Structure 1
Amino acid sequence: MEFLVDMVTTVPEGASEDDVARMRGREAARSRELAAQGSLRRLWRPPLAPGEWRTWGLFRAEDAERLEEVLASMPLRAWRQDTVTPLAPHPNDPGR
């Protein structure tokens, strides 16, 4: 199955720039691992308001339970709110 995940990150008050940089580095490394495994297919940056930290991701997983395991393995999940939308094939999809 494929899932569109809207990921909104809120950096906790008191987090230093070093904390944020370390977290971003860990997230980037984990994202590369998930991409290599085939779980993370694409990432997009939607239009953002000033100060907003948001990403849209296309993930592939066997089911919603497995997707939750994948999302929970991402370091930024500690600061992030995820909204998951399961996707189904469209009969007129030109990519099919």
Structure 2
Amino acid sequence: MNEFLVEITTVVPEGTPAEEVDRRRAAEAVRARELAAAGRLVRLWRPVGERRSIGVWAAADEAELRAEVLGSLPLWPWMTATVTALEPHPNDPGNRL
């Protein structure tokens, strides 16, 4: 499994009923928990004062990440994502045995 840094911005289309937004956001929370339990959503942050998210996600490759992992998010049709493949750094303090 490879890790990816993903920056996501969600823009709700104009005219979308509030009920639809609420439904998708609730489903998004459920799906995020499922992906975390499956080891696909590793960490997730929201910059202070912003509506975008930054996270570490796991998948075999970027195609799988976009199609099967991120693509399974209920808000995905309203999202834009910047994906950066990551590799371990030899000085990573989290990589100590």
- TM-score of the aligned structures, taking structure 1 as reference length: 0.90
Query: Does residue 1:62 correspond to 2:60, yes or no?
Result: yes
1:10 to partner: Cα distance: 0.4
Q: Any gaps of 5 or more consecutive residues in structure 2? A: none
The ranges of structure 1 where at least 4 consecutive aligned residues each deviate by more than 3 angstroms after the TM superposition are: none
Distance 2:30 2:59 in 1: 19
Instruction: Report the equivalent of 2:94.
Output: 95
* Counterpart residue type for residue 20 of structure 2: D
Q: Deviations over 1:44-86 (max 9, x none)?
A: 001335xxx2111110111112211211111111100011011
The alignment yields a C-alpha RMSD, in angstroms, of 1.1
Distance 1:67 1:18 in 2: 28
Q: Any gaps of 5 or more consecutive residues in structure 1? A: none
- TM-score of the aligned structures, taking structure 2 as reference length: 0.89
* Counterpart residue type for residue 88 of structure 1: E
Instruction: Report the equivalent of 1:85.
Output: 84
Q: Deviations over 1:13-47 (max 9, x none)?
A: 01122221111001111111111111011110013
